Chains A and B, each alone.
Chain A
Amino acid sequence: MSGGRAHAGHMVRRIGVFAFFSVVLAFFSLPMLWLATAPFDANPSITVSVPEFTLANFRAILDNPYALGSLGNSVLQAGGAALVVVTLAATAAYALSRVRVPGRDALLYVLLLLSSIVTGTAAMVPIFELATRLNLIDTHLGVILTVSGGLLPAAIFILKDFMDATPTSYEESARVFGAGPVQILLHVAVPLVRPGLATIAVWAVANVWGGFLLQFILIRDPQRAPGSVVLYTLYTEGGQPDLSLLSAFSLLYSLPVVLMYLFVSTRYGFRFHGGIKR
């Protein structure tokens, strides 16, 4: 193998890799242009164009009596659901990962399949009736519990996979030093998968953040409605979108999720694997 050829091959490979990254970057950022221009355009249309710069759209959306409050509601509902999902999924996944229960994987997958029914349109009536009987209509808690039920199987499924992949040797040594199971869970297992937990939390928030139909059916008072429901109100009588309001609100509505992602990714790391390199 001559050095020159290897060098040339190396160059070609490098160029290929950079070309790939450029295409990926272009592909993923291109659709987002509209969100960067339309909210600042005096006459936003469906076309991306250099805006006739204005902040009037934001002033208009701030005049909407529900817009800002709805973002607070989204934070409450999505945050609450993320808390429930992460806590319950982490404990359940840990236990399922460390103790052999016959048929656990099949059971988990069946729950995952059932979650696809509940997140669909057809389960509307059972969910509504359930919420009515439990007195959860028009409450944040109703939204939180219902969406958590739909998200939990997938969260457990993912977390268990990664708990399986973390070494058990630390737990064994902690045991030798007399730590009880709960201490081991909190001080040994959880720190190992913390980035994974953070990721599941972001995933849960993003899922609840965009959800519409369930939230709309369960909430009565617009003071408690989340951003996804308010976004839908920015249409006219005949069903045309009010683009100036819609684009400005879309940006405001997307920002918290993006900020949360940035926060989580700098603070905890944003990936599924544990903190141990093998």
Chain B
Amino acid sequence: MRLPRRPATTLALLAAVTLALTSCGAEEGSGDGAVTLTITANAISGGKNSATADWIKNWVIPRFEETQKAAGRNVHVLFQPNGVDDEQYKTKVALDLKSRGGADVIDLDGIWIGEFAQAGYLKPLTEVAGAAVDAWEGWEQIPQAVQGLGVFEGKKYALPVGTDGRVLYYNKDLFRRAGLPQDWQPESWREILDAGTALKRLPGVTPIQINAGTAMGEATTMQGALPLLAGAGAEVYSGGRWLGGSQAVRDVLGFYRQIYGGGLGDPRLQQEAKGRDKSFAEFAEGKIGILAEGDYFWRSVIAPEAGVAPMKDRDAKVGYALIPAREPGAGIRGQDFVSMSGGSARVLNPFSGNPGPAWELLSFMHSAEATEAELTMAGEARITARADVNDKMLAGDPMLSFVSEKVLPLTAYRPPLAVYPQVSAALQEATADVVAGRTPEEAAAAYQEKVIRIAGGPDKVAGQ
């Protein structure tokens, strides 16, 4: 690095660089008195959730600006894409809202809404945008349960984008070779284990993959611990208290013990940093018999064309079944079958300088027309929040219709509270303990201890 001859030159150079840099960081304002709105999402063209980003850029923005212009309003819309881990995106949005800045319309995971609201980062939609919110045509198209994704303490904070459901996938080839039915629907945990035992006889096949351990992160909780807990009749948070190391937890851990201690699962896979990716690849290669996953697995992982682990003959080879309760009637609300759901939602920035137009943009993005356009552009069906769109778009996809019709009525959601991620981590650690060989009782006791610490006292923990 050659340094300039004189300090004055150095200073001038630094100043010039500084100026140049700051000026290219200036706001792209619009001098014509127009309103500028910004959308942000964890989606980016050419990367993560590319289709959503393309839809916002190429459909939502031009159409919305056009509609507004027709109504005599000059509105500019900008899109700020991101493509990172959810936790990092969440951090960035929280920092933005904490400093009262950030985009006007923000994509969030539904379970963040409660903690953001508690922190004062979000306000109910009607408080931000007024009566126009309640008058929106879309509410009656969104089922109550799905609306719940955007509701915290009885108030609507967000418009749900869509939802999903979890099922058991199975490989029909392997089932045939193991003498199991092509049309499989287990009625209890016992029947899952029995099918696993039959599959175990096939060489080179891992019978069951139910995510466990901490390396899989939230996937362990969503695809494993929580649906199983629901099947044992317990919810992780209810009546203001967190679930302790109860009988239900011990039952779930006992089930894990039978899989990973009994040679029905691959314990090493649960520990690898890229274990979940590998489980996808192994299922696609026909090396895993039964796998618990969300509908995302069907439409994005093993999809014949666009999947990351594509299965050319997916529709013929892969079956799916409801997740059974421990035994019929043992699930939450006395159900025979259970599932878990999540989904993302869009909120209004309560610090937006243009809350009215921001609501117009938000509701426009959730209109039937926009929702259909998003699915069409993505080239894949997906369960949206709107019943009218689902009726029309899911008709050609038996798997997603199955989720929409059979799974969603049974499903449950996670509590949208700030300490949930820590409770979830404690559940993951409990499953890891069992996979590593500790008894369900020991693991449940350790879990109990952690939950009491996380929740802030024994009085905030139930079912000890």
Query: Is the pair A237, B296 in contact by a Cβ cutoff of 8 Å?
Result: yes
User: Is A162 engaged at the interface, CB distance under 8 Å to the other chain?
Assistant: no
Query: Chain B nearest CB: distance from A185 CB in Å?
Result: 9
Query: Is the pair A236, B48 in contact by a Cβ cutoff of 8 Å?
Result: yes
Q: Which one of B14-22, B62-70, B234-242 contacts A? A: B14-22
What residue of chain B has the Cβ atom nearest to residue A121's Cβ? Answer: B91
A contacts with B: majority SS: helix
Interface centre among B6, B46, B101 (most CB of A within 10 A): B46
Cβ contacts B73-98/A at 8 Å (1 or 0 each) = 00000001111110010011001001
Query: Is the pair B17, A240 in contact by a Cβ cutoff of 8 Å?
Result: no
Query: Is the pair B46, A63 in contact by a Cβ cutoff of 8 Å?
Result: yes
Contact among B1, B7, B85, B280 with A198 in the assembled complex (CB-CB below 8 Å): B1
* Interface residues on chain B, size class: 35 or more
Query: Is the pair B47, A234 in contact by a Cβ cutoff of 8 Å?
Result: yes
Query: Chain A nearest CB: distance from B18 CB in Å?
Result: 6
Chain A hits for B44, CB < 8 A: 66, 222, 233
Query: Is the pair B21, A144 in contact by a Cβ cutoff of 8 Å?
Result: yes
Query: Is the pair B45, A201 in contact by a Cβ cutoff of 8 Å?
Result: no
Query: Chain B nearest CB: distance from A248 CB in Å?
Result: 12
Q: Known: A83-B1, A186-B3. Contact between A141 and B21, CB under 8 A? A: yes
Contact among B1, B7, B81, B83 with A201 in the assembled complex (CB-CB below 8 Å): B1
The A-B contact count (CB < 8 A) is: 124
Q: Known: A64-B47, A233-B44, A238-B296. Contact between A87 and B14, CB under 8 A? A: yes
What residue of chain B has the Cβ atom nearest to residue A129's Cβ? Answer: B99
* Interface residues on chain A, size class: 35 or more
Query: Is the pair A124, B48 in contact by a Cβ cutoff of 8 Å?
Result: no
**Bound state CA distance, A241 and B101, in angstroms?**
31
User: Is B71 engaged at the interface, CB distance under 8 Å to the other chain?
Assistant: no
Query: Is the pair B84, A232 in contact by a Cβ cutoff of 8 Å?
Result: yes
Query: Chain A nearest CB: distance from B6 CB in Å?
Result: 8
Query: Chain A nearest CB: distance from B103 CB in Å?
Result: 9
Chain A hits for B5, CB < 8 A: 186
Query: Is the pair A128, B3 in contact by a Cβ cutoff of 8 Å?
Result: no
Contact among B25, B95, B296, B308 with A141 in the assembled complex (CB-CB below 8 Å): B25
User: Is B388 engaged at the interface, CB distance under 8 Å to the other chain?
Assistant: no
Sample of 29 A–B contacts (CB below 8 Å): A64-B46, A65-B45, A65-B46, A66-B46, A83-B14, A87-B3, A125-B95, A137-B101, A141-B21, A141-B25, A142-B25, A144-B21, A182-B6, A186-B5, A198-B1, A216-B84, A221-B80, A222-B82, A224-B25, A232-B83, A233-B47, A233-B82, A234-B47, A234-B48, A235-B47, A237-B49, A237-B300, A238-B308, A242-B308
Q: Report which B residues bind A (CB closer than 8 A).
A: 1, 3, 5-7, 10, 14, 17-18, 21-22, 24-25, 44-49, 80-85, 88, 91-92, 95, 98-99, 101, 274, 276-277, 280, 296, 300-301, 308
Q: Beyond A66-B47, A235-B83, list 13 extra A-B contacts (CB 8 Å).
A: A66-B46, A76-B21, A87-B14, A128-B95, A139-B22, A141-B25, A186-B6, A216-B84, A224-B24, A237-B48, A240-B277, A245-B47, A268-B1
